[in-house]
Amino acid sequence: MNTEPARLGAEVSGNDMWRTLPAARQRVVVAVYKFRDQTGQYKPQQNGSSFSTAVTQGATSVLLRALEESKWFDPIERENLGNLLNERKIIRSTRSEYSEQTGQPQPVLPPLLFAGIILEGGIISYDSNIITGGAGVRYFGAGSSGQYRQDRVTVYLRAISTNSGKILKTVYTSKTILSQQVDASLFQFVSFKRLLETETGFTYNEPSEMAVKEAIEKSVQALIYEGMMQRIWVPADTAANHGLSMQQYLREKQENLAIDVLGRKTGYQRRPVGLGASGGVQLYQGDYALPQYSPVGELNVRYRFGDGYFMGLLNAGQGALAAGPRGQFFNRRFTYAEAGIQANLFPYDRFTPYLLAGVGATRATTSDAQGRNTVLPHLVFGVGGEYLVKPKIGITLGVDNHFFLSDRLDQVTQGRYNDFYWGGRAGVIFYLGRNKNPQ
């Protein structure tokens, strides 16, 4: 690690958005008296909290710079107005004394600017640990792990008319703060009485000051667009009221209606109808010993009910079950059809675990000389997960159990339990139709 010289302050993505803002016809003189931390929250620690505040106490300075960078406002000094007035008194007193001593008149100090709009608000929320998680693995003394935590800061900003005291517009924005830790270690005997132990890792904490800066800059940008729509201020080119940057803001505002506090879409991710195919292996569990893994293929149809937590299922497949070396004890192919319900635990997310249950019928051919077809009813239960790689394409992976309501699948009736088999399958599903609510 080497020391580094002082550098210009780091910028955030909001600075790129300043360049997309339309030019203002005339800058608005605004005053900011105090844009302060209203959370009263101290920095969280593992063993409690410290006396350091969770967010910066200099949010007024951040807001003033954002107003200046936007090129829509001319901010005037009001936070330390007493210092400014004292300095002006000193100037007047010095000029007066100089005029008395020299007899030369001095120019009158010009009056202060007054603001047509006052900006108020503050940092009103700092939520810790809104999402936490981690994962790790260790094998024979070697392993690694990772943990993450997400906090959130929320900013409110309002514009007030100094002429009437009316609140012209209020906006609010939020920004998440990510913290993560990754480490790896090794603890192993390399020889007799020789122990090797190593450990490495890193921790990254997103600076809360940068998160506050980005949230404040986003609120200024939102205030500019909202003021343009309500004719509080106007751009240099009136076509900008319907320009590309305004359309992007309106699109973001509309999409925000379908996003929850954790940043997840609350709209339907999966379209009403799904057509899919899957393949995998099955393991027979019956009256014969030495069960073998056998292949299976399946076609699927899904239909979404209501809010998306439940979907109807129609499955049709063909596979085999076998027992004994190379299927010598039992080996039979069969076809089946099923109908059931799938419960999606996170229907509004791209990834969702699911539970399924249903009933079906299996058509198997007997092994006797007549080769008769036997239809056996069964129940199916399963768990799995689905991930949307694209809005219309999903990948599924699951495990299920087919339990027969009779013990005649292998034509041997013995024991306390009916025949059943386990299945593991992976597949792809294509969604059709159109969602009524926005994505």
Pairing of strands 310-323, 36-37: unpaired
For the chain, how many helices (H) and strands (E)?
A: 5, 17
Are 123 and 37 a contacting pair, CB within 8 Å?
Answer: yes
Are 140 and 188 a contacting pair, CB within 8 Å?
Answer: yes
Are 146 and 119 a contacting pair, CB within 8 Å?
Answer: no
Q: How far apart are CA 259 and CA 214, in angstroms?
A: 19
The answer to whether residues 121 and 180 belong to one domain is: yes
> What does pLDDT average to over the chain?
87
- DSSP 8-state code for residue 265: B
pLDDT in tens, 180-230: 999 999 988 888 878 889 999 999 988 888 899 999 999 999 999 999 999
The answer to whether residues 289 and 150 belong to one domain is: no
The answer to whether residues 26 and 153 belong to one domain is: yes
Q: Answer whether residue 439 shows pLDDT above 50.
A: no
The answer to whether residues 242 and 311 belong to one domain is: no
Q: Which residue bears the tokens 């809005």?
A: 391
Which tokens go with 260? 């929850």
Helix (H) or strand (E) holding 9: none
For the question of whether the overall pTM of this predicted structure is more than 0.75, the answer is: no
The answer to whether residues 336 and 426 belong to one domain is: yes
Q: How far apart are CA 230 and CA 278, in angstroms?
A: 54
Please report, as a single letter, which amino acid is at residue 11: E
The answer to whether residues 245 and 290 belong to one domain is: no
Provide the domain count of the chain: 2
Of 226, 256, 286, the residue at which a domain comes to its end is: 256
pLDDT in tens, 325-367: 877 787 888 899 999 999 998 888 888 999 999 999 998 865 5
Domain membership of residue 104 (yes or no) is no
- How large a percentage of the chain has pLDDT more than 70? 93
Which tokens go with 105? 């008149």
Q: What is the CATH number of the domain that holds 242?
A: 3.40.50.10610
Of 256, 286, 311, the residue at which a domain comes to its end is: 256
Mind spelling out the 3-state secondary structure of 84-144? Answer: HHHHHHHHHHHHHHHHHHHCCCCCCCCCCCCCCEEEEEEEEEEEEEEEEEEEEEEECCEEE
Helix (H) or strand (E) holding 253: helix 244-256
Q: Which residue bears the tokens 């979404």?
A: 304
The answer to whether residues 194 and 321 belong to one domain is: no
What was the pLDDT predicted at 333?
85
Domain membership of residue 389 (yes or no) is yes
The answer to whether residues 124 and 157 belong to one domain is: yes
What was the pLDDT predicted at 47?
64
Q: How far apart are CA 30 and CA 410, in angstroms?
A: 84
pLDDT in tens, 25-37: 999 999 999 998 8
Domain membership of residue 265 (yes or no) is no
Domain membership of residue 263 (yes or no) is no
What was the pLDDT predicted at 155?
94
Domain membership of residue 98 (yes or no) is no
Domain membership of residue 74 (yes or no) is yes
Domain membership of residue 99 (yes or no) is no
Q: How far apart are CA 308 and CA 346, in angstroms?
A: 9
The answer to whether residues 69 and 174 belong to one domain is: yes
Helix (H) or strand (E) holding 155: strand 142-161
Q: Which residues contact 372 (CB under 8 A, 6 or more apart)?
A: 365, 366
Containing structural domain, residue 403: 273-432
Q: How far apart are CA 26 and CA 137, in angstroms?
A: 60
Q: How far apart are CA 188 and CA 52, in angstroms?
A: 41
Of 211, 227, 256, the residue at which a domain comes to its end is: 256
The answer to whether residues 420 and 346 belong to one domain is: yes
pLDDT in tens, 134-193: 989 988 888 999 999 999 999 999 999 999 999 999 999 999 999 999 999 998 888 887
* More reliable by pLDDT, 291 or 299: 299
Q: Which residue bears the tokens 């593992």?
A: 46
Q: What is the DSSP string of 381-403?
A: EEEEEEEEEETTEEEEEEEEEEE
Q: List the single range of 7-11, 59-63, 196-200, 317-321 with lowest mean pLDDT.
A: 7-11
Q: What is the CATH number of the domain that holds 290?
A: 2.40.160.20
Domain membership of residue 52 (yes or no) is yes
The answer to whether residues 223 and 316 belong to one domain is: no
Residue 281 phi, psi (nearest 5): -130, 160
99-113 per-residue burial string, b: 16 or more CB within 10 A, e: under 16: eeeeeeeeeeeeeee
pLDDT in tens, 405-433: 887 777 777 766 788 889 999 999 999 87
Q: How far apart are CA 320 and CA 291, in angstroms?
A: 12
The answer to whether residues 195 and 293 belong to one domain is: no
Any idea what the Cα angle at residue 52 is, between residues 51 and 55, rounded to 5°? 140
